Amino acid sequence: MKIIKEKITLDELKRMSAMFGNMVKAVVDVDRNLIAVDAELHSDLEALLLEDGSQQKGLWGINFYPEMRGDDFIEFDSMINMRPSQGNKSRGVDNEQTKKKIIEIVNKRINK
């Protein structure tokens, strides 16, 4: 598990995808502009970020597909995203502004 505070290359991300074949699980902190990657479960990455000072309300689970491009690179799907108290009733990210923020952070932290 790793918290990306600066940048990571696409090649580094591809090496991490070995656990799931072609996917890397990640959790994005939209408040602190960080991404945690490379764990078996999104909840493990969530715990890592919480220990590092993140607040749960700003954490969103996604998946990367390093071999894909465009919209297929990021998948918005994680059990940690199910938060009816925040208006998110699915495993996805229902709020479009939050999605945009996640994409901005990903583009800032991953050298494609």
Mean pLDDT, range 52-74, rounded to an integer: 95
What is the pLDDT at residue 2? 95
- 5's tokens: 């505070």
- Residue 45 in this model has a pLDDT that exceeds 80: yes
- Predicted confidence band of residue 81 (pLDDT cuts 50, 70, 90): very high
Residue 13, amino acid: L
Tokens of 51: 């220990």
Could you read off the pLDDT of 27-42 as tens digits, one per residue?
999 999 999 999 999 9
User: Cα dist. 80→8, 10, 31, 112 in Å?
Assistant: 24, 25, 16, 26
What value does the mean pLDDT take over residues 71-89?
95
Number of domain units in the chain: 1
Q: Give CA–CA dist 89/31, Å, rounded.
A: 21
% pLDDT > 90, the chain = 90
Model confidence at 59, pLDDT cuts 50, 70, 90, reads very high
Strand partners, 59: 29
* pLDDT mean across residues, the chain: 95
What pLDDT shows up at residue 32? 98
Which stretches of the chain are assigned E, i.e. beta strand? 2-4, 8-9, 24-29, 34-37, 59-64, 74-75, 110-111
Whether the pLDDT of residue 112 is over 90: the answer is no
CA–CA distance, 3 with 50 (Å, rounded to integer) = 11
Q: Which domain holds residue 86?
A: 2-111
